[in-house]
Amino acid sequence: MSKTVGIIGGGIIGLSTAYYLDKAGHKVTILDQGNMQVGCSTGNAGMIVPSHFIPLAAPGMIAKGIRWMFNSQSPFYVRPRFSGDLIKWGYQFYKHSTKQHVEHSIPALTEINALSKAMYQQWSKELPFDFDFHERGLLMLYKSAAIEKEEIETAHLANKIGVEAHVLDSKAVQQLEPDVKVDVRGGIYFPGDAHLTPSKLFSGMISYLKGRGVNFVTSCEVNDFEVANGLVKRVFTSNETFAFDELVIATGSWSGSVMKKLQLDLPMQAGKGYSFTIPEVEKNVRVPSIFLEARVAVTPMGNDLRFGGTMEIAGVDHSINLNRVRGIVASIPNYYPEMDVKMPDVNKIWHGLRPCSPDGLPYIGRLRSFNNVVVSTGHSMMGLSLAPGTGKLTAELVERQRPSMELDPFNVERFN
Protein backbone atom coordinates (compact mmCIF):
# COMPACT_ATOMS: atom_id res chain seq x y z
CA MET A 1 0.00 0.00 0.00
CA SER A 2 1.35 3.41 -0.98
CA LYS A 3 2.20 5.77 1.89
CA THR A 4 3.14 9.43 2.15
CA VAL A 5 6.64 9.52 3.60
CA GLY A 6 8.50 12.61 4.83
CA ILE A 7 12.29 12.45 4.98
CA ILE A 8 13.88 15.17 7.11
CA GLY A 9 17.39 15.64 5.73
CA GLY A 10 18.53 15.75 2.12
CA GLY A 11 22.05 14.36 2.50
CA ILE A 12 23.14 11.15 0.82
CA ILE A 13 21.37 9.00 3.48
CA GLY A 14 18.08 10.84 2.89
CA LEU A 15 18.46 10.61 -0.90
CA SER A 16 19.28 6.89 -0.77
CA THR A 17 16.22 6.26 1.40
CA ALA A 18 14.07 8.27 -1.02
CA TYR A 19 15.42 6.20 -3.92
CA TYR A 20 14.24 2.90 -2.41
CA LEU A 21 10.92 4.29 -1.11
CA ASP A 22 10.09 5.84 -4.49
CA LYS A 23 11.00 2.57 -6.20
CA ALA A 24 8.51 0.80 -3.91
CA GLY A 25 5.75 3.19 -5.00
CA HIS A 26 5.51 5.59 -2.04
CA LYS A 27 4.92 9.35 -2.27
CA VAL A 28 8.12 10.91 -0.90
CA THR A 29 8.85 14.46 0.29
CA ILE A 30 12.37 15.52 1.35
CA LEU A 31 12.64 18.46 3.77
CA ASP A 32 16.10 20.03 4.01
CA GLN A 33 17.23 23.02 6.04
CA GLY A 34 19.81 24.00 3.39
CA ASN A 35 19.85 24.50 -0.36
CA MET A 36 20.95 20.92 -1.27
CA GLN A 37 24.18 22.26 -2.76
CA VAL A 38 26.88 21.59 -0.16
CA GLY A 39 27.23 19.39 2.89
CA CYS A 40 28.90 16.22 4.06
CA SER A 41 27.59 14.45 0.98
CA THR A 42 29.59 16.41 -1.60
CA GLY A 43 33.10 17.23 -0.37
CA ASN A 44 34.01 13.94 1.26
CA ALA A 45 36.68 11.49 0.08
CA GLY A 46 34.23 9.46 -2.02
CA MET A 47 35.44 6.12 -0.65
CA ILE A 48 33.36 2.93 -0.40
CA VAL A 49 35.24 1.02 2.27
CA PRO A 50 34.30 -2.54 3.30
CA SER A 51 37.82 -2.44 4.83
CA HIS A 52 36.51 -0.12 7.57
CA PHE A 53 34.93 -2.68 9.88
CA ILE A 54 36.40 -1.37 13.17
CA PRO A 55 34.35 1.38 14.88
CA LEU A 56 35.83 4.75 15.86
CA ALA A 57 35.37 3.84 19.54
CA ALA A 58 38.20 1.32 19.89
CA PRO A 59 41.07 0.59 22.34
CA GLY A 60 43.85 3.15 22.09
CA MET A 61 41.71 5.93 20.60
CA ILE A 62 41.47 7.85 23.89
CA ALA A 63 45.28 7.83 24.34
CA LYS A 64 45.86 8.87 20.71
CA GLY A 65 43.21 11.58 21.01
CA ILE A 66 44.86 13.06 24.12
CA ARG A 67 48.28 13.13 22.35
CA TRP A 68 46.77 14.78 19.27
CA MET A 69 44.95 17.41 21.38
CA PHE A 70 48.24 19.25 21.94
CA ASN A 71 49.21 19.47 18.26
CA SER A 72 47.39 22.20 16.30
CA GLN A 73 47.95 20.32 13.02
CA SER A 74 46.94 16.88 14.30
CA PRO A 75 44.14 14.84 12.69
CA PHE A 76 41.91 14.78 15.81
CA TYR A 77 40.79 17.53 18.15
CA VAL A 78 38.06 18.02 20.74
CA ARG A 79 37.46 21.68 21.49
CA PRO A 80 37.24 21.99 25.29
CA ARG A 81 33.90 23.55 26.19
CA PHE A 82 31.29 23.19 28.89
CA SER A 83 28.51 21.18 27.30
CA GLY A 84 26.37 18.55 29.00
CA ASP A 85 25.84 16.81 25.65
CA LEU A 86 29.60 16.65 24.98
CA ILE A 87 30.34 15.32 28.48
CA LYS A 88 27.72 12.57 28.10
CA TRP A 89 28.98 11.75 24.61
CA GLY A 90 32.59 11.65 25.83
CA TYR A 91 31.68 9.32 28.71
CA GLN A 92 29.95 6.89 26.33
CA PHE A 93 32.89 7.05 23.90
CA TYR A 94 35.27 6.20 26.75
CA LYS A 95 32.97 3.40 27.94
CA HIS A 96 32.83 1.84 24.44
CA SER A 97 36.54 2.07 23.58
CA THR A 98 37.03 -1.58 24.48
CA LYS A 99 38.05 -4.81 22.77
CA GLN A 100 34.61 -6.30 23.57
CA HIS A 101 32.81 -3.43 21.83
CA VAL A 102 35.01 -3.83 18.74
CA GLU A 103 34.32 -7.59 18.62
CA HIS A 104 30.58 -6.93 19.00
CA SER A 105 30.61 -4.27 16.23
CA ILE A 106 32.68 -6.02 13.55
CA PRO A 107 29.98 -8.45 12.27
CA ALA A 108 27.39 -5.66 11.96
CA LEU A 109 29.76 -3.23 10.22
CA THR A 110 31.05 -5.96 7.92
CA GLU A 111 27.51 -6.91 6.90
CA ILE A 112 26.23 -3.37 6.26
CA ASN A 113 29.44 -2.58 4.33
CA ALA A 114 28.94 -5.62 2.09
CA LEU A 115 25.27 -4.77 1.55
CA SER A 116 26.11 -1.18 0.61
CA LYS A 117 28.93 -2.14 -1.75
CA ALA A 118 26.57 -4.56 -3.54
CA MET A 119 23.97 -1.78 -3.85
CA TYR A 120 26.60 0.57 -5.35
CA GLN A 121 27.47 -2.08 -7.92
CA GLN A 122 23.77 -2.29 -8.77
CA TRP A 123 23.41 1.52 -8.93
CA SER A 124 26.38 1.80 -11.30
CA LYS A 125 24.51 -0.44 -13.76
CA GLU A 126 20.94 0.80 -13.18
CA LEU A 127 21.08 4.56 -12.63
CA PRO A 128 20.84 6.69 -15.78
CA PHE A 129 23.81 8.90 -14.83
CA ASP A 130 27.53 8.34 -14.28
CA PHE A 131 29.06 8.96 -10.87
CA ASP A 132 32.61 7.69 -11.61
CA PHE A 133 32.26 4.41 -9.73
CA HIS A 134 35.58 2.52 -9.80
CA GLU A 135 36.61 -0.67 -8.02
CA ARG A 136 40.36 -0.17 -7.70
CA GLY A 137 40.67 -0.96 -4.01
CA LEU A 138 42.28 1.07 -1.22
CA LEU A 139 45.88 1.39 -0.01
CA MET A 140 46.49 1.95 3.70
CA LEU A 141 50.00 3.47 3.67
CA TYR A 142 52.36 3.58 6.64
CA LYS A 143 55.88 4.81 7.36
CA SER A 144 56.48 3.54 10.91
CA ALA A 145 57.08 0.08 12.38
CA ALA A 146 54.44 0.67 15.09
CA ILE A 147 51.67 1.40 12.58
CA GLU A 148 52.87 -1.47 10.37
CA LYS A 149 52.40 -3.90 13.28
CA GLU A 150 48.86 -2.60 13.97
CA GLU A 151 47.85 -2.73 10.31
CA ILE A 152 49.20 -6.25 9.69
CA GLU A 153 47.07 -7.42 12.64
CA THR A 154 44.03 -5.68 11.08
CA ALA A 155 44.82 -7.30 7.70
CA HIS A 156 44.93 -10.77 9.30
CA LEU A 157 41.60 -10.07 11.01
CA ALA A 158 40.13 -8.79 7.72
CA ASN A 159 41.05 -11.98 5.87
CA LYS A 160 39.64 -14.04 8.74
CA ILE A 161 36.21 -12.35 8.45
CA GLY A 162 36.15 -12.52 4.65
CA VAL A 163 37.42 -9.03 3.75
CA GLU A 164 40.35 -9.59 1.36
CA ALA A 165 43.57 -7.82 2.43
CA HIS A 166 47.17 -8.01 1.17
CA VAL A 167 50.28 -6.91 3.10
CA LEU A 168 52.61 -5.10 0.67
CA ASP A 169 56.20 -3.95 0.97
CA SER A 170 57.24 -0.58 -0.46
CA LYS A 171 58.12 -2.09 -3.84
CA ALA A 172 54.71 -3.76 -4.23
CA VAL A 173 52.99 -0.49 -3.24
CA GLN A 174 54.96 1.36 -5.91
CA GLN A 175 53.91 -1.18 -8.55
CA LEU A 176 50.28 -0.19 -7.95
CA GLU A 177 51.17 3.47 -8.55
CA PRO A 178 53.05 3.66 -11.88
CA ASP A 179 52.74 7.47 -12.22
CA VAL A 180 53.43 8.74 -8.71
CA LYS A 181 56.48 8.11 -6.52
CA VAL A 182 55.44 6.65 -3.14
CA ASP A 183 57.75 6.80 -0.11
CA VAL A 184 56.46 4.37 2.53
CA ARG A 185 57.57 1.43 4.64
CA GLY A 186 54.66 -0.55 3.19
CA GLY A 187 50.91 -0.74 2.98
CA ILE A 188 47.82 -2.89 3.22
CA TYR A 189 45.86 -3.26 -0.02
CA PHE A 190 42.12 -3.89 0.18
CA PRO A 191 41.08 -4.84 -3.39
CA GLY A 192 37.37 -4.92 -2.49
CA ASP A 193 37.11 -1.19 -1.76
CA ALA A 194 35.88 1.31 -4.34
CA HIS A 195 35.47 5.04 -4.93
CA LEU A 196 33.32 7.57 -6.76
CA THR A 197 32.88 11.32 -7.27
CA PRO A 198 30.44 12.42 -4.51
CA SER A 199 29.18 15.60 -6.19
CA LYS A 200 28.25 13.61 -9.33
CA LEU A 201 26.34 11.04 -7.28
CA PHE A 202 24.61 13.74 -5.22
CA SER A 203 23.52 16.02 -8.08
CA GLY A 204 22.67 13.06 -10.32
CA MET A 205 20.48 11.49 -7.63
CA ILE A 206 18.63 14.77 -6.96
CA SER A 207 17.84 15.21 -10.69
CA TYR A 208 16.82 11.56 -11.01
CA LEU A 209 14.48 11.69 -7.97
CA LYS A 210 12.95 15.00 -9.07
CA GLY A 211 12.27 13.43 -12.47
CA ARG A 212 10.52 10.57 -10.68
CA GLY A 213 8.23 12.98 -8.80
CA VAL A 214 9.94 13.10 -5.40
CA ASN A 215 9.07 16.45 -3.79
CA PHE A 216 12.00 18.56 -2.50
CA VAL A 217 11.37 21.39 -0.01
CA THR A 218 14.61 23.33 0.65
CA SER A 219 15.54 26.07 3.16
CA CYS A 220 13.04 24.32 5.39
CA GLU A 221 13.84 24.13 9.09
CA VAL A 222 11.87 21.81 11.36
CA ASN A 223 10.58 23.80 14.34
CA ASP A 224 8.37 21.29 16.14
CA PHE A 225 6.19 18.18 15.95
CA GLU A 226 2.60 17.51 16.91
CA VAL A 227 2.36 14.13 18.58
CA ALA A 228 -0.68 12.12 19.70
CA ASN A 229 -1.38 8.46 20.47
CA GLY A 230 2.22 7.38 19.83
CA LEU A 231 2.35 8.97 16.36
CA VAL A 232 3.87 12.12 14.90
CA LYS A 233 0.79 13.73 13.37
CA ARG A 234 2.28 16.92 11.93
CA VAL A 235 5.66 18.49 11.25
CA PHE A 236 5.86 22.26 11.77
CA THR A 237 8.56 23.89 9.64
CA SER A 238 9.71 27.40 8.74
CA ASN A 239 7.87 26.95 5.41
CA GLU A 240 4.61 25.19 6.15
CA THR A 241 3.04 22.37 8.12
CA PHE A 242 3.24 18.80 6.79
CA ALA A 243 1.42 15.59 7.64
CA PHE A 244 2.89 12.21 6.66
CA ASP A 245 1.97 8.56 7.20
CA GLU A 246 5.62 7.80 8.00
CA LEU A 247 8.54 10.02 8.94
CA VAL A 248 12.28 9.38 8.46
CA ILE A 249 14.80 11.46 10.44
CA ALA A 250 18.08 11.58 8.52
CA THR A 251 19.41 14.92 9.74
CA GLY A 252 23.09 14.05 10.22
CA SER A 253 24.88 16.20 12.79
CA TRP A 254 21.63 18.00 13.63
CA SER A 255 19.85 14.76 14.62
CA GLY A 256 20.43 15.27 18.35
CA SER A 257 18.64 18.64 18.36
CA VAL A 258 15.82 17.36 16.09
CA MET A 259 15.24 14.38 18.41
CA LYS A 260 15.06 16.71 21.44
CA LYS A 261 11.91 18.17 19.87
CA LEU A 262 10.45 14.66 20.32
CA GLN A 263 11.69 14.63 23.95
CA LEU A 264 14.26 11.95 23.09
CA ASP A 265 18.00 11.89 23.75
CA LEU A 266 20.22 10.87 20.83
CA PRO A 267 23.93 11.30 21.71
CA MET A 268 25.55 12.97 18.70
CA GLN A 269 28.51 15.23 18.05
CA ALA A 270 29.50 16.95 14.83
CA GLY A 271 32.96 15.86 13.65
CA LYS A 272 34.27 18.50 11.28
CA GLY A 273 36.39 17.37 8.37
CA TYR A 274 38.17 19.34 5.64
CA SER A 275 39.06 18.64 2.05
CA PHE A 276 40.48 20.38 -1.00
CA THR A 277 40.76 19.24 -4.60
CA ILE A 278 43.60 19.77 -7.06
CA PRO A 279 42.22 20.06 -10.61
CA GLU A 280 43.74 18.44 -13.70
CA VAL A 281 46.65 16.55 -12.12
CA GLU A 282 49.06 15.52 -14.86
CA LYS A 283 50.47 12.46 -13.07
CA ASN A 284 47.64 11.28 -10.89
CA VAL A 285 47.27 8.67 -8.18
CA ARG A 286 45.54 5.53 -9.43
CA VAL A 287 44.47 3.81 -6.19
CA PRO A 288 42.80 5.79 -3.37
CA SER A 289 44.91 5.77 -0.23
CA ILE A 290 44.95 6.71 3.42
CA PHE A 291 48.11 8.12 5.01
CA LEU A 292 47.84 6.27 8.30
CA GLU A 293 50.12 8.37 10.51
CA ALA A 294 48.50 11.59 9.26
CA ARG A 295 44.96 10.18 8.87
CA VAL A 296 44.65 11.80 5.46
CA ALA A 297 42.49 10.34 2.68
CA VAL A 298 43.54 10.70 -0.97
CA THR A 299 41.13 10.00 -3.84
CA PRO A 300 41.51 10.44 -7.60
CA MET A 301 38.30 11.83 -9.11
CA GLY A 302 38.65 11.81 -12.87
CA ASN A 303 41.72 13.96 -13.58
CA ASP A 304 41.36 15.71 -10.21
CA LEU A 305 42.84 14.64 -6.87
CA ARG A 306 41.11 15.18 -3.51
CA PHE A 307 42.83 15.29 -0.12
CA GLY A 308 40.72 15.15 3.03
CA GLY A 309 41.06 14.59 6.73
CA THR A 310 40.77 15.65 10.37
CA MET A 311 38.08 14.99 12.94
CA GLU A 312 37.36 18.14 14.90
CA ILE A 313 34.71 17.74 17.60
CA ALA A 314 33.73 21.38 18.02
CA GLY A 315 29.94 21.45 17.94
CA VAL A 316 27.91 22.66 14.96
CA ASP A 317 30.58 25.15 13.94
CA HIS A 318 31.35 26.25 10.38
CA SER A 319 34.61 28.14 11.00
CA ILE A 320 37.68 26.88 9.12
CA ASN A 321 40.72 26.04 11.24
CA LEU A 322 43.56 26.61 8.75
CA ASN A 323 46.07 24.80 10.98
CA ARG A 324 44.16 21.56 10.44
CA VAL A 325 44.35 22.07 6.67
CA ARG A 326 48.08 22.89 6.96
CA GLY A 327 48.47 19.52 8.68
CA ILE A 328 46.92 17.78 5.65
CA VAL A 329 49.14 19.72 3.20
CA ALA A 330 52.30 19.07 5.27
CA SER A 331 51.68 15.30 5.23
CA ILE A 332 51.55 14.95 1.42
CA PRO A 333 55.31 15.11 0.57
CA ASN A 334 56.02 12.56 3.33
CA TYR A 335 54.15 9.93 1.28
CA TYR A 336 54.27 11.39 -2.27
CA PRO A 337 57.70 13.13 -2.25
CA GLU A 338 57.51 14.41 -5.83
CA MET A 339 54.06 15.93 -5.41
CA ASP A 340 54.26 19.69 -4.83
CA VAL A 341 50.97 20.72 -3.20
CA LYS A 342 50.53 24.29 -1.97
CA MET A 343 48.21 25.46 0.79
CA PRO A 344 44.85 26.07 -0.93
CA ASP A 345 43.04 29.42 -0.85
CA VAL A 346 40.52 29.51 1.98
CA ASN A 347 37.63 29.73 -0.52
CA LYS A 348 38.80 26.42 -2.07
CA ILE A 349 38.65 24.56 1.26
CA TRP A 350 35.54 22.46 1.83
CA HIS A 351 34.36 21.47 5.29
CA GLY A 352 31.58 19.18 6.43
CA LEU A 353 30.09 18.12 9.74
CA ARG A 354 30.03 14.34 10.14
CA PRO A 355 27.42 12.94 12.55
CA CYS A 356 29.32 10.95 15.19
CA SER A 357 27.65 8.57 17.62
CA PRO A 358 29.69 7.84 20.76
CA ASP A 359 30.17 4.14 20.00
CA GLY A 360 31.07 4.59 16.31
CA LEU A 361 27.95 2.78 15.04
CA PRO A 362 25.11 4.40 13.09
CA TYR A 363 21.57 4.75 14.40
CA ILE A 364 19.14 2.85 12.16
CA GLY A 365 15.74 1.81 13.49
CA ARG A 366 12.13 2.56 14.31
CA LEU A 367 11.48 4.52 17.50
CA ARG A 368 9.75 2.70 20.34
CA SER A 369 7.92 5.86 21.44
CA PHE A 370 6.49 6.81 18.04
CA ASN A 371 5.06 4.15 15.78
CA ASN A 372 5.56 6.09 12.54
CA VAL A 373 9.14 7.39 12.94
CA VAL A 374 12.32 5.74 11.60
CA VAL A 375 15.74 7.22 12.39
CA SER A 376 18.71 6.85 10.04
CA THR A 377 21.80 8.83 11.02
CA GLY A 378 25.14 8.84 12.88
CA HIS A 379 27.37 7.31 10.20
CA SER A 380 30.41 9.46 11.08
CA MET A 381 32.99 9.22 8.23
CA MET A 382 31.09 6.33 6.62
CA GLY A 383 27.96 8.15 5.42
CA LEU A 384 28.73 7.95 1.72
CA SER A 385 30.13 4.43 2.00
CA LEU A 386 27.06 3.08 3.80
CA ALA A 387 24.39 5.20 2.08
CA PRO A 388 22.75 2.70 -0.34
CA GLY A 389 22.69 -0.10 2.25
CA THR A 390 21.29 2.27 4.88
CA GLY A 391 18.71 3.61 2.41
CA LYS A 392 17.55 0.09 1.60
CA LEU A 393 17.32 -0.88 5.29
CA THR A 394 15.47 2.33 6.18
CA ALA A 395 12.97 1.82 3.35
CA GLU A 396 12.38 -1.75 4.56
CA LEU A 397 11.65 -0.42 8.08
CA VAL A 398 9.22 2.17 6.69
CA GLU A 399 7.47 -0.62 4.77
CA ARG A 400 7.48 -2.78 7.92
CA GLN A 401 9.30 -5.54 6.09
CA ARG A 402 11.92 -7.77 7.64
CA PRO A 403 15.18 -5.81 7.12
CA SER A 404 17.98 -7.29 4.99
CA MET A 405 20.15 -7.64 8.11
CA GLU A 406 19.87 -7.73 11.89
CA LEU A 407 19.68 -4.12 13.18
CA ASP A 408 20.04 -4.57 16.96
CA PRO A 409 23.61 -3.13 17.06
CA PHE A 410 22.26 0.07 15.45
CA ASN A 411 19.33 0.44 17.89
CA VAL A 412 18.40 4.13 17.98
CA GLU A 413 17.55 4.12 21.70
CA ARG A 414 20.53 2.05 22.88
CA PHE A 415 21.83 4.83 25.18
CA ASN A 416 18.47 5.52 26.87
How many whole angstroms separate alpha carbon 415 and alpha carbon 71?
32
How many whole angstroms separate alpha carbon 354 and alpha carbon 8?
16
For residue 415, being part of any structural domain is answered with no
Indicate if 70 and 28 belong to the same structural domain: no
Q: Name the domain boundary from 356, 377, 394.
A: 356
- What pLDDT was estimated at residue 193? 98
DSSP assignments along 58-122, one per residue: -TTHHHHHHHHHT-TTSSEEE-----HHHHHHHHHHHHH-SHHHHHHHHHHHHHHHHHHHHHHHH
For residue 217, being part of any structural domain is answered with yes
Indicate if 229 and 321 belong to the same structural domain: no
Count each helix (H run) and each strand (E run) in the chain, helices first. 10, 20
Question: Residue 381's domain spans which residues?
Answer: 4-41+201-265+360-410
Indicate if 160 and 74 belong to the same structural domain: yes
How many whole angstroms separate alpha carbon 29 and alpha carbon 51?
34
Number of domains into which the chain is organized: 2
CATH number, position 250: 3.50.50.60
Indicate if 80 and 137 belong to the same structural domain: yes
291: amino acid identity, one letter: F
For residue 292, being part of any structural domain is answered with yes
CA angle 74, 37, 42 (to 5 degrees): 40
The answer to pTM > 0.75 is yes
**Would you give per-residue pLDDT tens digits along the chain (416 residues)?**
899 999 999 999 999 999 999 999 999 999 999 887 766 667 899 999 999 999 887 777 666 666 655 565 666 777 777 788 888 888 898 899 899 999 999 999 999 999 999 999 999 999 999 999 999 999 999 999 999 999 999 999 999 999 999 999 999 999 999 999 999 999 999 999 999 999 999 999 999 999 999 999 999 999 999 999 999 999 999 989 999 999 999 999 999 999 999 999 999 999 899 999 999 999 999 999 999 999 999 999 999 999 999 888 777 778 888 888 999 999 999 999 999 999 999 999 999 899 999 999 999 999 999 999 999 999 998 999 999 999 999 999 999 999 999 999 999 999 98
For residue 416, being part of any structural domain is answered with no
